């Protein structure tokens, strides 16, 4: 189905099932521990052996020698894989560094070897017997030091270009009120709860991989390239994924090494990355240095807006696209953005939840708060004065829908924004200085081609198959709701099968495109199935109403299952998109409100209240969508207050590579969180009229926390995270 | 007890030291947390009950209770998130108390009565805590969930038993399952999907029902 005209009325609009806050259909399995993740597929293939990965002990250089004899002779060991045993491997197009080192080492904890043994304990013990001698090379590990050598990112992607509209320099220089500040965000880790894990089994030249991936089809393609085997020989199965946040978008070492280990040991092999290996072995969100310049009239109209960002990555990698929201969020006739990329030898930087906007808004939305104060304006009033209904770079290109102002108005009322003191440090409860902060949330709505197969059997059971993944997002449930609505059957009559490359290729889970795109693909397949049912029943499909397990047309009413008298019916289709996302800017919007308390003596910051108001198209399931948003708000609190990968700038690695030292929010850090979804549908996005929401929640929340800390204390910290050491020396008098 | 001198080392110092240690060990091929084994694994028999069923296992003595449950008994509801006692995903109930099953060797638990998530309830007979997690959407990816639920059940028992926490105002008085008490006591169970707000609501509902 080609979606190239705005959606009109369709069966989804009935909202009998879609739009309802249904419990997750996979919920009972998850709460009983019977949902099986990648490492837990004990019964799918016999005789499984265990693999244990050894990571490189240097950041850059080469392996001079590697002694494997002791490991090979260790009890229970079946095989040891290094680059030598692996033979000729190519690099998948979505990987920057190779997944297996040797002889070159490209980053710390890059996999050097895999030991395969009868048991996990034996594999782990034998891995400690491998002796590797390295020749270390000089590397660049400090973004700040490499900043001046950073260059415009290579590649044809126009989004990497510098942008210029009007006369930024002139307008900024002549602006009556201006701001020129630099903000920094640190390297961050996805730290999803399930480690990367894979079970690999060969049957002749056919390879089956039970793994944890967000993108099944990307995994198949990149694995085929890496091994140099046909795509058709690889099957990936990924029914449950224990979190991803971008960290499981791409093929990782567990997949490759499990396959190589299984080939060498001639046994199925399962491999999980150990927690201390994950942070340096896999990808992370790169640190940024961001300069923001704002110029405005005395009345607060932005006349100049400029955003530059510096980040680093391995050679051949890409930048953190931290300026992208600044091209669209606020009006202003004179504008510029630029990104510069430094070559660093730290582990590979790549997408983490809302890449670009998450760190970009941490800077931009703090700058907006500072600018509002300079102007003597309320931060909400300043933002709304610079609202725009058109793409500021191309004023003839409207937003498909933009209710940015309403997010702030609804939120301000609900949160009690009028209670905020414009002057910082004025609200106090005992030892706690209280502050309120606000920030805009903004993230583009991306649409992706997505396929599905839907079948109907004689019992009236509808089965949906698509390689879409559910990484905690609720895909199982919203896909089930979509099929249920389209075919007029109860949700418990729908079976949803996901995460298998034997199924039609879907959008996958990433970039907050999965929910809208994958359900639109299911919609397309259901339209075809409705036509097939109507034809079997001899009725006109455009008149047919599917409801209550029946198909009605005029005064005729037939059971849906009766269409299968000659056998089950199956339909397959793919949603594809025209140019509606080019003619109209499709984005999602929100406003974050945060109240913090900062201890006047210790500068400890506690988040006390949080509210997000979101305008993100139709909400397919308010319960699971809300969970997406509160989860993203939680990660945003982490980014604002605690998350930071500490870089060893001499040796070139992230020092705090486990969950005790890389601090993420825990229960005690998070208060009750409130989310409001504005009631809306966006007919430009898809037949579902939905948009992405999974990443919107993290966009801007870090700045809202930081702005609240400033409101509480009067101390402005532009260097995230806002740990108490950065506040302490400048805290107001405790008395 | 640590001496005052030791306490002077703050967390940042500790990370610097840890970093230096890691760095020094690298050229020799990586840190070795444990002595290298020479011969065959040492096996030992151990018996304990899991979810009311007795098991007699012959195990490599290095096997954690977590790996015994997951790899030997195939009770994979108990999750391995970090294998270091840092995340809580492996929480089970051992003789009625919660424990990180990755931090105890299986053979140390002879005669123990262990309850895992599978023992609390199944898909068709959910434990009230499991049902409340579904109702309040107290999870997303589901990987930390069994640990959260086991911890949640134990936390309400701890509060009922009057065991104080860091946020209890009265160390000897009656405890109440307030949101603050729940958040404090659940903080050893990390949920990266960020379902905390919903988990507190689920636990509060169960605590209320328990009365």
Nearest to residue A433, comparing CAs of A606, A594, A593?
A: A606
In chain B, residues with a C-beta closer than 8 Å to the C-beta of A471 are 141
In terms of Cβ atoms closer than 10 Å to its own Cβ (0-12, 13-18, 19+), residue B125 is: exposed
Task: Find out whether A188 and A639 touch, Cβ atoms under 8 Å.
Answer: yes
Q: Is B39 on the interface with A (CB under 8 A)?
A: yes
Assess whether B159 and B178 both reside in one domain.
Answer: yes
- Give the chain B residue nearest A129 (alpha carbons): B36
For A32, the closest of B25, B118, B137 (CB atoms) is: B118
| B116 and B132 fall within a common domain | no
Structure tokens at A1: 């189905």
- Residue B65 covered by a domain: yes
Rounded CA gap, A67 and A90, in Å? 25
Q: What is the pLDDT of residues A642-661, one digit of tens each?
A: 999 999 999 999 999 999 99
How far is A455 from chain B, CA to nearest CA, in Å?
26
Count CA within 13 A, CB hemisphere, residue A496: 27
The pLDDT of residue B32 is 47
The answer to whether residue B176 sits within a structural domain is yes
The predicted-structure confidence for A563-616, as pLDDT tens digits, reads as follows 999 999 999 999 999 999 999 999 999 999 999 999 999 999 999 999 999 999
Query: Distance, in angstroms, between B158 CA and closest chain A CA?
Result: 17
DSSP three-state, residue A172: helix
Inside any domain, residue B37: no
What's the pTM value of the predicted model, to 2 decimals?
0.95
Confidence (pLDDT) at B210: 73
- Please say if the pLDDT value at position B1 is more than 80: no
CATH 3.30.365.10: does it fit domain A391-444+586-728?
yes
Residue B34 lies in a domain: no
E runs forming strands in A417-525? 427-429, 432-444, 450-456, 462-465, 494-497
User: Concatenated DSSP letters for A628-693?
Assistant: HHHHHHHHHHHHHHT--PPEETTTTEES--STTTS----GGG---EEEEE-----TTT-TT-B---
Alpha carbon distance A393, A335 (integer Å): 8
Query: Is A243 in contact with B192 (Cβ distance < 8 A)?
Result: yes
Phi, psi of A52 (to 5 degrees): -130, 130
Spatial separation of the C-alpha atoms in residues A485 and A17, rounded to whole Å: 6
Chosen domain end from B66, B99, B120: B120
B8 located within any domain: no
pLDDT at B38: 57
Question: Could you say which DSSP state residue A516 is in?
Answer: H
Contact in structure between A453 and A522 (CB atoms under 8 Å): no
**Hey, are the CB atoms on A32 and B130 less than 8 Å from each other?**
yes
Give the span between the Cα atoms of A170 and A420, in whole angstroms: 36
Cβ–Cβ of A125/B34 closer than 8 Å? yes
Q: Is the pLDDT of residue B37 over 90?
A: no
Closest CA of chain B from A695, distance in Å: 12
A550-553 long-range contacts, Cβ below 8 Å, gap at least 24?
A: A550/A488, A551/A488
Structure confidence by residue, pLDDT tens digits, A445-466: 999 999 999 999 999 999 999 9
How confident is the model over B59-105, as pLDDT tens digits? 999 999 999 999 999 999 999 999 999 999 999 999 999 999 999 99
Domain co-membership, B206 together with B135 = yes
Six-digit token string for B162? 């009057």
pLDDT of B34 reads: 52
The predicted complex's ipTM stands at: 0.97
Query: Is B142 in Cβ contact with A26 (below 8 Å)?
Result: yes
Question: Strands, DSSP E only, in chain B?
Answer: 43-50, 53-60, 91-94, 97-100, 113-115
Mean pLDDT of chain A: 97
Residue A695 falls in the annotated catalytic set: yes
Segment A163-190 shows an average pLDDT of 98
Question: Given a cut of 50, is residue B29 above it in pLDDT?
Answer: no
What's the rounded Cα separation, in Å, for the pair A169 and A166?
A: 9
- Name every chain A residue with its beta carbon within 8 A of the beta carbon of B122: 32, 34
How far away is chain A from the Cα of B3, in angstroms, using its nearest Cα?
23
Q: Which of B60, B77, B194 sits opposite A33 (nearest CB)?
A: B77
Domain with CATH 3.30.365.10 in chain A: 2-35+447-577, 391-444+586-728
**Are A720 and A645 contacting, i.e. CB atoms less than 8 angstroms apart?**
no
| Among the partner residues B40, B130, B196, nearest to A31 by beta-carbon distance | B130
Number of folded domains that form chain B: 2
Contact A49, A263 (CB under 8 A): no
Integer Cα distance of A243 and A472 in angstroms: 6
Of A352, A350, A339, the residue nearest A317 (C-alpha): A350
Q: Which chain A residues are Cβ-neighbours of B76 within 8 angstroms?
A: 33, 36-37, 39-40, 42
Q: How many CB pairs under 8 A join A and B?
A: 255
Chain A residue with the nearest C-alpha to that of B124: A28
CATH number at residue B203: 1.10.150.120
* Residue B95 within a domain: yes
Task: Band the pLDDT of A733: cuts 50, 70, 90.
Answer: confident
Residue B24 token pair: 């020094």
Per residue in A295-311, pLDDT tens? 999 999 999 999 999 99
Task: Find the catalytic residue in A194, A348, A595, A695.
Answer: A695
Express the helix, strand and coil content of chain A in percent, nearest 5 each: 30, 30, 40
B15 close to A (CB below 8 A) = yes
Q: Which residues of B touch A39 (CB under 8 A)?
A: 76, 80
Give, for A2, the enclosing helix (H) or strand (E).
strand A2-3
Q: Of B62, B93, B120, which closes a domain? A: B120
The dihedral built from the CA positions of residue A252, A257, A263 and A265, taken in this order, carries a sign that is: negative
CB of A685 closer than 8 Å to CB of A344:
no
CATH of the domain at B85: 3.10.20.30
B76, A36: Cβ pair inside 8 Å?
Answer: yes
Residues with Cβ < 8 Å from A286, sequence gap 6 or more?
A: A187, A311, A312, A313, A319, A320, A349
Query: Given this model, what pLDDT does residue A715 score?
Result: 98
Same domain, B115 and B164: no
- The answer on pLDDT for A716 being more than 60 is yes
Closest CA to A238 of A61, A429, A503: A503
Residue in B118, B126, B192 closest to A193 by CB: B192
Q: Domain span at residue B101?
A: 43-120
What is the longest distance spanned by two Cα atoms in chain A?
84
C-alpha span between A701 and A592 (Å, rounded):
6
Alpha-carbon span A315 to A232, nearest angstrom: 31
**CB contacts, 8 Å: B126 with chain A:** 28, 31-32
From the list A626, A630, A518, the residue with the least C-alpha distance to A574 is A518
Residue listed under structure tokens 């240097």: A58
User: Roughly how many angstroms between the first and final C-alpha of chain A, as a whole number?
Assistant: 68
Residue finishing a domain among B120, B154, B181 = B120
In the prediction, which pLDDT does B88 show? 98
Q: Strand A569-577's sheet: what is its strand order?
A: A2-3, A569-577, A450-456, A462-465, A494-497
Q: What is the pLDDT of residue B170?
A: 92
Q: Flag if A193 and B30 touch (Cβ within 8 Å).
A: no
Q: What pLDDT does A155 receive? A: 85
Give strand pairing partners of A609.
Answer: A595
In chain A, which residues have their Cβ closer than 8 Å to the Cβ of B144? 193
- pLDDT tens for B175-187 read 999 999 999 999 9
Q: In the block, which residue shows the tokens 């051949």?
A: A316
In chain A, the percentage of residues whose pLDDT exceeds 90 is: 98
Pick among A33, A34, A636 to test the B interface (most B CBs inside 10 A): A33
B26, B78, B137 member nearest A57 (Cβ): B26
Instruction: Identify the CATH class of A2-35+447-577.
Output: alpha beta
The per-residue pLDDT for range A318-352, each reduced to its tens digit, is 999 999 999 999 999 999 999 999 999 999 999 99
Q: Tell me which residue of A143, A142, A136, A114 sits closest to A57, measured CA to CA.
A: A136
Alpha helix segments (H runs only) across A152-215: 168-174
Q: Are strands A269-272 and A49-55 parallel, antiparallel or unpaired?
A: parallel
Predicted pLDDT of residue B20: 39
Give the sign of the dihedral formed by CA A497, CA A498, CA A500, CA A506. positive
Mutate one of A25, A28, A31 to test the B interface: name it (highest B CB count within 10 A): A31
Q: B199 in a domain, yes or no?
A: yes
Cross-chain Cβ contact A658/B26 below 8 Å? no
Residue A253 clears pLDDT 70, i.e. is over it:
yes
Q: For residues B152 and B205, state if they share a domain.
A: yes
Yes or no, beta carbons of B62 and A125 under 8 Å apart: yes
CA-based nearest distance A400→chain B, Å: 30
Which residues numbered 132-191 in B keep a CB inside 8 Å of some CB on A? 133-135, 137, 139-146, 149, 179, 182-184, 186-191
Instruction: Tell me if A669 sits within 8 A of A636, measured CB to CB.
Output: no
């Amino acid at each position: 189905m080609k979606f190239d005209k705005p959606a009109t009325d369709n069966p989804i609009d009935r909202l009998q099932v879609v739009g309802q806050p249904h419990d997750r259909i996979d919920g009972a399995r998850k709460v009983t521990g019977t949902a099986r993740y990648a490492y837990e597929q004990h019964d799918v293939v016999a005789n499984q052996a265990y693999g244990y990965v050894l990571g490189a002990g240097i950041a850059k250089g080469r392996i001079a020698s590697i002694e494997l004899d002791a490991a090979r002779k260790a009890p229970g060991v079946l095989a040891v894989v290094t680059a030598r045993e692996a033979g000729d491997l190519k690099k998948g197009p979505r990987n920057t560094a190779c997944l297996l080192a040797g002889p070159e080492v490209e980053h710390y904890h890059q996999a050097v070897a895999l030991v395969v043994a009868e048991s996990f304990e034996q594999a782990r013990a034998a891995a400690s017997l491998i002796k590797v001698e390295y020749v270390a090379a000089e590397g660049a590990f400090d973004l700040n030091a490499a900043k001046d050598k950073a260059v415009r990112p290579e590649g044809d992607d126009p989004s990497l270009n510098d942008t210029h509209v009007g006369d930024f320099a002139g307008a900024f220089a002549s602006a009556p009120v201006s701001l020129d500040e630099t903000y920094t965000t640190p390297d961050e880790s996805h730290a999803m709860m399930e480690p990367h894990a894979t079970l690999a089994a060969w049957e002749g030249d056919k390879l089956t991989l039970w793994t944890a991936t967000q993108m099944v089809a990307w995994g198949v393609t990149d694995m085929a390239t890496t091994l140099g085997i046909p795509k058709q020989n690889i099957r990936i199965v990924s029914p449950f994924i224990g979190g991803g946040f971008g960290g499981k978008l791409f093929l990782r070492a567990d997949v490759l090494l499990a396959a190589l280990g299984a080939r060498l040991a001639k046994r199925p092999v399962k491999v999980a990355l150990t927690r201390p290996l994950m942070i340096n072995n896999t990808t992370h969100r790169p640190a940024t240095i961001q300069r923001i310049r704002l110029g405005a009239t005395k009345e607060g109209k932005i006349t100049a807006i400029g955003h530059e960002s510096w980040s680093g990555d391995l050679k051949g990698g890409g930048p953190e696209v931290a300026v992208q929201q600044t091209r669209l969020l606020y009006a202003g006739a004179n504008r510029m953005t630029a990104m510069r990329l430094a070559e660093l030898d730290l582990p590979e930087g790549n997408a983490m939840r809302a890449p670009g906007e998450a760190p970009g808004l941490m800077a931009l939305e703090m700058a907006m708060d500072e600018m509002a104060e300079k102007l003597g304006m309320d931060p909400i009033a300043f933002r709304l004065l610079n609202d725009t209904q058109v793409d500021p770079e191309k004023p003839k290109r409207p937003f498909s829908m933009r209710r940015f102002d309403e997010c702030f108005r609804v939120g301000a009322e609900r949160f009690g924004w009028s209670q905020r003191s414009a002057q910082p440090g004025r609200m106090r409860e005992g030892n706690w200085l209280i502050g309120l902060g606000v920030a805009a949330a903004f993230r583009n709505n991306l649409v992706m081609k997505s396929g599905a197969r839907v079948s109907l059997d004689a019992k009236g059971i509808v089965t949906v198959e698509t390689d879409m993944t559910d990484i905690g997002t609720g895909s199982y449930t919203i896909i089930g709701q979509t099929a249920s609505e389209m075919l007029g059957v109860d949700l418990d009559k729908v079976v949803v099968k996901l995460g298998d490359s034997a199924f039609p290729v879907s959008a996958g889970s990433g970039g907050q495109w999965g929910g809208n795109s994958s359900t639109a693909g299911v919609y397309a397949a259901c339209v075809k199935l409705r036509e097939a049912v109507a034809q079997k029943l001899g009725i006109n499909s455009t008149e047919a109403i599917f409801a209550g397990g029946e198909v009605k047309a005029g005064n005729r009413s037939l059971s849906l299952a009766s269409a299968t008298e000659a056998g089950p019916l199956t339909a397959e289709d793919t949603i594809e998109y025209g140019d509606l996302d080019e003619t109209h800017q499709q984005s999602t919007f929100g406003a974050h409100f945060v109240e913090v308390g900062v201890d006047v003596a210790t500068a400890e910051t506690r988040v006390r209240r949080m509210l997000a108001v979101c305008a993100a198209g139709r909400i397919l399931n308010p319960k699971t969508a809300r969970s997406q948003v509160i989860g993203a708000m939680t990660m945003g609190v982490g980014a604002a207050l605690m998350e930071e990968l500490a870089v060893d700038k001499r040796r070139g690695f992230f020092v705090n590579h486990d969950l005790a030292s890389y601090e993420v929010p825990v229960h005690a850090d998070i208060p009750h969180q409130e989310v409001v979804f504005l009631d809306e549908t966006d007919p430009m996005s898809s037949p579902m009229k939905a948009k992405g929401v999974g990443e919107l929640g993290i966009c801007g929340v870090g700045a809202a926390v930081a702005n609240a800390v400033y409101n509480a204390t009067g101390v402005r910290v532009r260097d995230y995270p806002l740990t108490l050491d950065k506040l302490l020396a400048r805290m107001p008098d405790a008395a | 007890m640590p001496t005052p001198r030791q306490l002077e080392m703050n967390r940042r110092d500790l990370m610097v030291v840890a970093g230096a240690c890691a760095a020094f060990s690298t050229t020799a091929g990586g840190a070795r947390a444990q002595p290298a084994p020479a011969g065959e694994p040492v096996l030992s028999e151990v018996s304990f009950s899991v979810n009311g069923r007795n098991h007699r296992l012959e195990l490599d003595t290095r096997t954690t209770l977590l790996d015994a449950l997951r790899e030997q008994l195939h009770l994979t509801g108990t999750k391995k998130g970090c294998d270091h006692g840092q995340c809580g995903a492996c929480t089970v109930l051992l003789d009625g108390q919660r424990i990180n099953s990755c931090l105890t060797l299986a053979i140390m638990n002879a005669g123990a009565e262990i309850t895992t998530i599978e023992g609390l309830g199944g898909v068709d007979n959910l434990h009230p805590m499991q049902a409340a997690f579904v109702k309040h959407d107290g999870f997303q990816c589901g990987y930390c969930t069994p640990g959260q639920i086991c911890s949640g059940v134990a936390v309400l028992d701890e509060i009922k038993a009057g065991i104080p926490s860091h946020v209890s105002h009265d160390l000897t008085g009656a405890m109440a399952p307030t949101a603050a008490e729940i958040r404090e006591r659940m903080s050893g169970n990390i949920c990266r999907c960020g379902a905390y707000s919903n988990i507190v609501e689920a636990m509060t509902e169960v605590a209320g029902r328990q009365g």
